[in-house]
Structure 1
Amino acid sequence: MYGALWRILPGPWPVKLLITLVVVAGALYGLVFYAFPWVDALITPQNDVTVGLGAAGQSPAWL
């Protein structure tokens, strides 16, 4: 399959490599900055988790 994709890209191999790198970089950018935050907002129940502090910002009694 990769061979077929490589053959349909235009130009000599340096141009094909550049096109491939740009497409892969664009896909990674889209995943990191759009897809993953969107999915995280759906699967994370809350984002305001505090560990070790009480409601008023005081330390717990066991500290």
Structure 2
Amino acid sequence: MAYGVSLVPWCDGRDGMYGWIWRHLPGNAWVKALISLLLIVAVVYVLFQYVFPWAEPLLPFNDVTVDNQ
């Protein structure tokens, strides 16, 4: 079967970024799942502690204009 050709239309033989990460993590499936969970927790922590507070003043959520009627 040629690359990019599959019996299932949504599966073209490439597994994308998450498949690449999964293949490159060490250990068996349980160890990979634990490392994946720790990576997710670390990314969420960095987002909430550093990225979102930095970006908050740049976002227009408090610039609301409503006419008094």
Superposition deviation, residue 4 in structure 1: 2.0
- The answer to whether 1:9 aligns with 2:25 is yes
Which structure 2 residue ranges, 5 or more long, are not aligned? 1-15, 63-69
Quick one: percent identity of the two aligned structures? 42
What is the aligned-residue RMSD (CA, Å)?
Answer: 1.7
From the CA coordinates, give the structure whose radius of gyration is larger: 1
The count of corresponding residues between Structure 1 and Structure 2 is 45
Task: Tell me the alpha carbon deviations over residues 7-63 of structure 1, each in whole angstroms, 9 at most, x when there is no partner.
Answer: 11100011000110101100001101111011113346x8xxxxxxxxxxxxxxxxx
Q: TM-score, normalised by structure 2?
A: 0.56
Q: TM-score, normalised by structure 1?
A: 0.61
Which structure 1 residue ranges, 5 or more long, are not aligned? 47-63
